[in-house]
């Protein structure tokens, strides 16, 4: 479909429709959902990486005041479908990773549940855990596919021969650490099982903090063996997810199981920050061996990224780290490969820009190294390697404005006067440097979503089971629906966040607006087709998301360029980032203030990845030992100085009716490379292992 | 988290008697450390005796120095104009710590008694001699980036996390204590102890002893003092290393100095060897490095799964040199 909408509301700088509710504190989140006589569930976690439960004695917990039930592998309900091993909760005695749920206590008060959980006596037969990722493990294997469904490996030409031929070459190993999503709002669920409803078959309602109410419903009804209609999931607001609430994790299914153990009583289950580190997924650590070769003219003759990363033994997660090296630059010889180590570790999952984010760090630092070796400006080097078509599929890009972002960003940042020499600028007791890196994120549209538009009391009411992660969906979808209907935003309400609304895809892969917006446009067209411009109250039409046949003819991605200025303290090596600018080409921007906060937020998170974030994994125990926000460092206000995001006016007629590409993730892609490149430019020390900390540049 | 009793007596004597009477009782100050430990299961007192209502909350002149009530909030202490003028190192140490909200709650008595941030100490699923004597030390061979390079033992390699305490150590402060047997005063430098074979004891205080005040002596050298805290992010992180220093330079010679280190030992580390090297020296990077070298001669870094902490030796050396350089420049 080509862009069809006339933009009136799209592009307007409207304030959030839900802003007032959030500022006043009346927006209700999962753990505080209104509930009659709620009870509380506290999980018990295995303190070992691998082993077998030999006994669980719930008696000391059951003897405590207020305790209603203790779920153990012996007493928990048998689940109907555990083909996804993450959801095989309390189904057998195996311990697959440290932090796995081995029991759950339900009590009248939070304090009683917490205390009683400590009293559940679980005994184990511990086996040695195998938890350490390395590139030379003999048991590395190639997964069938990476997370997006793409091939794990690709190869064209002969990279090794091209690298041997040079004349310029970079062959280096880069690593990114294990990283954890840390949304402010905990992973929380309020769950109610009402046995008498649904014709006596019972119904389950989950007020859950999730990126997709329908995704949760699909999982929960399948795992519990219920009918889809027996499960309702409600989630009007989310205090951040960053991917960790993208698919439901063990806590959600446990909350449902707990609710069924105490029929009629709403059960609240919120993970503590510490529990989140083993149960809500994480970005797996990666080891990336990058090879670049180029002629003296700076044209790449080879590009390769051979990736080793980890998954859990109990469930495979193959991060798509290889993807950026396939998309970014032209080169006749190219190779990517994915090898996994299956370890006794918690299950990795999505974290903002899975794949693209770690997978851009290594190649974008390598490009900086190559630029230095060739004596070519890093922006010029990227210009010389700009492909005409997608380097691997050969498809033309629907639009590709990487160079425009680099040029405009360079101008705003003041790049042209840059002295390329590293480690030569010292003033005020600090070493100064600047760095650049590119950003990329694929433009996606999910295959399933449906919306309904109705005329109600003289207004247009659209319903779609979409989610607002704090990103602005409540507002942006109104803007799209208004333009699709050709009316003012004041005439439109959009209702989201409830499985009572039509099926919508998960808020993930930066696909939300692309998918739900396309769906609303289709529904508006259907509505107008059937009821014209003067509909009557009660008129209502539905439509599903249209397929994008242009996706077969075009490669679709958003691009960007990030510029960092880094200061490194001459005595202490402390690293500060006085300036971080990003310029992006993300198609049509639906709402500039919300887009800016997405991009700035992504860049801030990228800054965290560059300098601070590091899940300190202790291979002896198999767990992350800095599992709280005092010790897992994300950027503070004081770390974010002059941080700016803007975008070029990009018009892409192929992506969807709105012309949008998705903005939730691209901001974090490339940031760490830009900062690391700037740190090198400041100090002359090249750090290839994230995070870049003061001891590495001392 | 274990259920506990709670009392808020009206006077210090009653509070001391209440804690002394029960081995599982603890004083509750601002609670910013202890309440975390209750939640984590690190501390499991059966009785909390809240002392926030009964401790003095004033700062008074005291023979040229200052007497600080143990109930004074960290935020108020940092804002006191006398502290800022005569003991800037203390104000800066306080302001470098925690966050505004925490400093509003944290007390003068509680801050020096906050417990180590050793990751394993805070995680009851791992062995820790400090939390559970005789269970072993999970930190050795684990993540040791924040651990000690000075004065550690084979039983414990933890560091003391307080910034304020590093400043108080440099300032030769005194601690006033009320115990079951009455009052006593001890030098701040004697309050904390090295881990040895009893890391469960952070300080020399006996069970039931309550800090009632901290006294700063008159100390002219402290008028030119500073606190330099080094950490990865700009705010809201504990020190990797820190330096509290005061310097007096007369006719191009160092005539007096106070130096203490944070982030490197089980105690705030008063650097008396460094002070001796500095006395009489001409302020210069050579002298500052020599002072650091003297103090760090016995330093023993830790290996670790996170790369260990050997970097603290050059880092502390350079941080000390930079801090003294700046102070010497202020003098000039
Ligand atoms: C996220 C976070 C970050 C922090 N960052 C820093 C930092 O960067 N630098 C820093 O220095 N600190 C930092 N802190 C620690 C903070 O400074 C301490 O928690 C605080 O100073 C403790 O004071 P309190 O009054 O709250 O003590 P409490 O928590 O009430 O008590 C601490 C201990 O002292 C005992 N106690 C309290 N008062 C007395 C008394 N008068 N006499 C005898 N015993 C007493 C208690 O029984 C307990 O054992 C941080 C804390 C947090 C939570
Ligand atoms: S270093 Fe000390 S506090 Fe840390 S685990 Fe070892 S004994 Fe416990």
pLDDT at residue A3 in the model: 53
Q: Give the gap in angstroms from C-alpha A619 to the nearest C-alpha of chain B.
A: 8
B267 pLDDT above the threshold of 60: yes
The response to whether residue B205 sits with its C-beta less than 6 Å from ligand 2 reads no
Task: Looking at the CA of residue B152, tell me the nearest atom of ligand 2.
Answer: 1
Q: Are A408 and A648 in contact (CB under 8 A)?
A: yes
Task: Write b or e for each residue in A61-74: b if 16 or more Cβ atoms lie within 10 A of its Cβ, otherwise e.
Answer: beebebbbbbbbbe
Ligand 2 centroid distance, CA of B239 (Å): 17
For chain A, say whether B150 makes contact (Cβ under 8 Å): no
Q: Are A465 and A497 in contact (CB under 8 A)?
A: yes
Strand partners, A430: A427, A569
DSSP A558-575: EEEEEEEEEEEETTT--E
pLDDT at residue B332 in the model: 65
For chain A, say whether B128 makes contact (Cβ under 8 Å): no
pTM for the model stands at: 0.98
Model confidence at B253, pLDDT cuts 50, 70, 90, reads very high
Domain with CATH 3.30.365.10 in chain A: 19-28+446-547, 282-444+553-697
> Are the Cβ atoms of A638 and B233 closer than 8 angstroms?
yes
> Are the Cβ atoms of B233 and A637 closer than 8 angstroms?
no
Which sequence spans correspond to the domains of chain B?
5-49, 220-330
For chain B, say whether A273 makes contact (Cβ under 8 Å): no
Instruction: Give the pLDDT means over successive 10-residue stretches in chain A (698 positions).
Output: 76 96 96 97 98 98 98 98 98 98 98 96 98 97 97 98 96 98 97 96 98 98 98 97 97 98 98 98 98 98 98 98 98 98 98 98 98 98 98 97 98 96 97 98 97 98 97 97 98 98 97 98 98 97 96 97 98 98 98 97 98 97 97 97 97 96 98 98 98 96
The response to whether residue B309 sits with its C-beta less than 6 Å from ligand 1 reads no
- Interatomic CA distance for residues A396 and A652, integer angstroms: 13
Mean pLDDT computed over every residue of chain A: 97
> Are the Cβ atoms of B233 and A694 closer than 8 angstroms?
no
- Interatomic CA distance for residues A166 and B165, integer angstroms: 58
The response to whether residue B42 sits with its C-beta less than 6 Å from ligand 2 reads no
pLDDT at residue A7 in the model: 86
The third-level CATH classification (topology) of the domain covering A19-28+446-547 is: Aldehyde Oxidoreductase; domain 4 (3.30.365)
Query: Which of B125, B130, B202 gets mutated to test ligand 2 (max ligand atoms within 8 A of its CB)?
Result: B130
- Interatomic CA distance for residues A617 and A49, integer angstroms: 12
The response to whether residue B142 sits with its C-beta less than 6 Å from ligand 2 reads no
- Interatomic CA distance for residues A608 and A693, integer angstroms: 11
User: Which residue of B122, B123, B322 is in closest CB contact with A572?
Assistant: B322
The response to whether residue B194 sits with its C-beta less than 6 Å from ligand 1 reads no
Q: Which residues of A are catalytically annotated?
A: 665
- Hey, which residues 95-114 in chain B have their CB within 8 Å of chain A? none
Q: Cα dist. A259→A186, A228, A343, A551 in Å?
A: 19, 17, 32, 43
Substitution target in A117, A126, A574, A610 with the highest count of B β-carbons within 10 Å is A574
Ligand 1 centroid distance, CA of B238 (Å): 13
* Domain B220-330, CATH: 3.30.390.50
- Interatomic CA distance for residues A263 and A597, integer angstroms: 42
pLDDT in tens, B125-171: 999 999 999 999 999 999 999 999 999 999 999 999 999 999 999 99
The class of domain B5-49 in CATH terms is alpha beta
CA A43 to mean position of chain CA atoms:
25
Model confidence at B1, pLDDT cuts 50, 70, 90, reads confident
Q: Residue with the nearest Cα to atom 1 of ligand 1?
A: A630
Domain A33-128+187-269 coded CATH 3.90.1170.50 = yes
pLDDT at residue A1 in the model: 44
Q: Cα dist. A216→A11, A257, A467, A490, A512 in Å?
A: 32, 14, 12, 32, 16
Q: If you measure CA to CA, which chain B residue comes closest to A429?
A: B322
User: Which residue of B234, B240, B311 is in closest CB contact with A636?
Assistant: B234
Chain B residues with beta carbon closer than 8 angstroms to that of A571: 318-319, 321-322
Task: Looking at the CA of residue B105, tell me the nearest atom of ligand 1.
Answer: 26
Q: Element (H or E) spanning A443, and its range?
A: none
Q: Residue with the nearest Cα to atom 50 of ligand 1?
A: B98
Give ipTM to 2 decimals: 0.97
> Are the Cβ atoms of B235 and A118 closer than 8 angstroms?
no
Task: Looking at the CA of residue B158, tell me the nearest atom of ligand 2.
Answer: 1
Q: If you measure CA to CA, which chain A residue comes closest to B124?
A: A47
- Hey, which residues 33-52 in chain B have their CB within 8 Å of chain A? 41
pLDDT at residue B330 in the model: 87
> Are the Cβ atoms of A633 and B233 closer than 8 angstroms?
yes
For chain B, say whether A693 makes contact (Cβ under 8 Å): yes
pLDDT at residue A368 in the model: 98
pLDDT in tens, B204-232: 999 999 999 999 999 999 999 999 999 99
Chain B residues with beta carbon closer than 8 angstroms to that of A60: none
Q: Residue with the nearest Cα to atom 8 of ligand 1?
A: B97
HEC per residue, chain B: CCCCEEECCCCHHHHHHHHHHCCCEEEECCCCCHHHHHHHCCCCCCEEEECCCCCCCCEEEECCEEEEECCCEHHHHHHCHHHHHHCHHHHHHHHCCCCHHHHHHCECCCHHHCCCCCCCCCCCCCCECCCCCCCCECCCCCCCCCCCCECCECCECCCCCCHHHHHHHHCCCEEEEEECCEEEEEEHHHHECCCCCCCCCCECCCCCCEEEEEEECCCHHHHCEEEEEECCCCCCCCCCEEEEEEEEEECCEEEEEEEEEECCECCCEECHHHHHHHCCCCCCHHHHHHHHHHHCCCCCCCCCCCCCCCCHHHHHHHHHHHHHHHHHHHHC
Of A384, A380, A385, the C-alpha closest to A420 is A380
Domain with CATH 3.90.1170.50 in chain A: 33-128+187-269
> Are the Cβ atoms of B322 and A429 closer than 8 angstroms?
yes
* Domain A282-444+553-697, CATH: 3.30.365.10
Q: Residue with the nearest Cα to atom 2 of ligand 2?
A: B156
Q: Give the gap in angstroms from C-alpha A571 to the nearest C-alpha of chain B.
A: 5
The response to whether residue B199 sits with its C-beta less than 6 Å from ligand 2 reads yes
The response to whether residue B152 sits with its C-beta less than 6 Å from ligand 2 reads no
Substitution target in B139, B236, B243, B321 with the highest count of A β-carbons within 10 Å is B236
The response to whether residue B208 sits with its C-beta less than 6 Å from ligand 1 reads no
């Amino acid at each position: 479909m080509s862009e069809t909408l006339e933009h009136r509301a799209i592009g307007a700088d409207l304030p959030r429709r839900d802003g007032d509710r959030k500022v006043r504190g009346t927006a209700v989140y999962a753990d505080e959902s209104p509930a009659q006589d709620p009870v509380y569930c506290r999980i018990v976690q295995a303190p070992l990486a691998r082993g077998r439960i030999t006994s669980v004695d719930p008696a000391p917990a059951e003897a405590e005041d207020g305790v209603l039930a203790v779920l153990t592998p012996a007493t928990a309900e048998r689940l109907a479908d555990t083909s996804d091993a993450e959801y095989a909760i309390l189904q057998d005695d195996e311990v697959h990773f440290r932090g796995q749920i081995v029991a759950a206590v339900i009590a009248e008060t939070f304090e009683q549940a917490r205390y009683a959980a400590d009293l559940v006596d679980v005994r184990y037969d511990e086996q040695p855990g195998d938890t350490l990722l390395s590139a030379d493990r003999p048991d590395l294997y190639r997964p069938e596919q990476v997370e997006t469904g793409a091939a794990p490996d690709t190869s064209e030409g002969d990279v090794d021969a091209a690298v041997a031929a040079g004349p310029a070459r970079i062959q280096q190993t880069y690593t990114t650490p294990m990283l954890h999503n840390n949304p402010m709002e905990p992973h929380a669920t309020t769950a109610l099982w009402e046995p008498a409803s649904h014709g006596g078959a019972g119904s389950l309602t989950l007020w859950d903090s999730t990126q997709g109410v329908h995704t949760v419903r699909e999982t929960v009804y399948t795992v519990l063996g219920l009918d889809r209609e027996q499960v309702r999931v409600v989630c009007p607001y989310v205090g951040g997810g960053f991917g960790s609430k993208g698919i439901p994790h063990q806590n959600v299914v446990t909350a449902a199981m707990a609710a069924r153990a105490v029929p009629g009583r709403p059960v609240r289950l919120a993970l503590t920050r510490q529990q989140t580190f083993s149960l809500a997924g994480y970005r797996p650590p990666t080891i990336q061996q990058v090879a670049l070769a180029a002629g003296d003219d700076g044209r790449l003759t080879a590009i390769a990224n051979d990736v080793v990363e980890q998954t859990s033994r109990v469930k495979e997660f193959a991060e798509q780290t290889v993807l950026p090296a396939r998309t970014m630059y032209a080169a006749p010889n190219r190779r990517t490969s994915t090898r996994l180590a299956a370890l006794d570790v918690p299950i990795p999952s999505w974290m903002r820009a899975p794949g693209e984010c770690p997978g851009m760090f290594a190649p974008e630092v390598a490009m900086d190294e190559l630029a230095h070796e060739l004596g070519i400006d890093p922006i010029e080097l990227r210009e010389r390697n700009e492909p005409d078509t997608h380097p691997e599929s050969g498809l033309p890009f629907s639009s590709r404005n990487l160079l425009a972002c680099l040029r405009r960003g360079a101008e705003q940042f003041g790049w042209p006067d840059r002295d390329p020499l590293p480690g030569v600028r010292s003033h005020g007791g600090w070493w100064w440097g600047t760095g650049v890196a590119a950003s990329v994120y694929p433009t996606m549209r999910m295959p399933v979503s449906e919306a309904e538009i109705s005329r109600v009391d003289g207004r247009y009411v659209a319903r779609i089971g979409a989610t607002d992660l704090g990103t602005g969906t409540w507002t942006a979808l109104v803007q799209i629906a208004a333009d699709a209907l050709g009316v003012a935003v004041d005439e439109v309400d959009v209702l989201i966040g409830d499985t009572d609304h039509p099926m919508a895809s998960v808020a993930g892969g930066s696909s939300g607006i692309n998918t739900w917006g396309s769906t609303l446009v289709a529904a508006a067209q259907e509505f107008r087709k059937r009821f014209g411009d003067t509909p009557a109250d009660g008129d209502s039409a539905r439509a599903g998301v249209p397929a994008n046949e242009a996706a077969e003819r075009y490669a679709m991605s958003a691009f960007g360029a990030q510029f960092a200025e880094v200061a490194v303290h001459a005595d202490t090596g402390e690293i500060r980032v006085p300036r971080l600018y990003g310029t992006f080409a993300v198609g049509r921007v639906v709402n500039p203030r919300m887009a800016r906060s997405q991009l700035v937020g992504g860049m801030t998170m990228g800054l965290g990845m560059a300098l601070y974030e590091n899940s300190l994994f202790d291979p002896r125990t198999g767990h992350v030992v800095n599992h709280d926000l005092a010790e897992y460092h994300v950027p503070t206000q004081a770390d974010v100085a002059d941080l700016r995001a803007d975008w070029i006016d990009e018009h892409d007629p192929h992506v969807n009716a709105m012309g949008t590409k998705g903005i939730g993730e691209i901001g974090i892609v490339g940031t760490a490379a830009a900062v690391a490149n700037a740190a090198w430019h400041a100090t002359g020390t090249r750090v290839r292992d994230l995070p870049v900390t003061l001891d590495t540049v001392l | 988290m274990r259920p506990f009793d709670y009392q808020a007596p009206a006077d210090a004597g009653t509070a001391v008697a209440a804690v002394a009477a029960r081995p599982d009782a603890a004083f509750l100050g601002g609670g910013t450390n202890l309440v975390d430990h209750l939640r984590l299961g690190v501390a499991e007192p059966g009785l909390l005796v809240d002392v926030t209502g009964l401790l003095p909350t004033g700062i008074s002149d005291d023979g040229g120095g200052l007497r600080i009530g143990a109930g004074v909030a960290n935020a108020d202490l940092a804002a006191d104009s006398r502290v800022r003028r005569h003991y800037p190192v203390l104000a800066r140490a306080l302001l470098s710590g925690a966050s505004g909200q925490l400093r509003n709650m944290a007390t003068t008595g509680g801050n020096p008694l906050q417990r180590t941030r050793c990751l394993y100490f805070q995680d009851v699923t791992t062995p820790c001699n400090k939390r559970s004597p005789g269970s072993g030390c999970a930190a050795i061979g684990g993540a040791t980036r924040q651990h000690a390079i000075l004065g550690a033992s084979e039983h414990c390699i933890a560091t003391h996390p307080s910034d304020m305490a590093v400043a108080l150590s440099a300032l030769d402060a005194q601690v006033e204590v009320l115990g079951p047997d009455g009052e006593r005063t001890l030098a701040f430098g004697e309050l904390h102890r090295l881990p040895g074979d009893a890391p469960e004891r952070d300080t020399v205080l006996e069970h039931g002893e309550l800090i009632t005040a901290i006294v700063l002596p008159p100390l002219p050298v402290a008028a030119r003092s500073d606190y330099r805290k080094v950490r990865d992010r700009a705010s809201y992180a504990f020190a990797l290393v820190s330096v509290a220093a005061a310097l007096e330079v007369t006719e191009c010679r160092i005539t007096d100095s106070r130096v203490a280190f944070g982030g490197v030992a089980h105690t705030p580390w008063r650097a008396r060897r460094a002070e001796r090297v500095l006395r009489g020296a001409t302020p210069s990077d050579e002298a500052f490095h020599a002072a650091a070298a003297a103090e760090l001669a016995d330093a023993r870094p830790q290996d670790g799964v996170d790369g260990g902490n050997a970097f603290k030796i050059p880092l502390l050396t350079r941080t000390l040199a930079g801090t003294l350089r700046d102070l010497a420049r202020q003098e000039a």
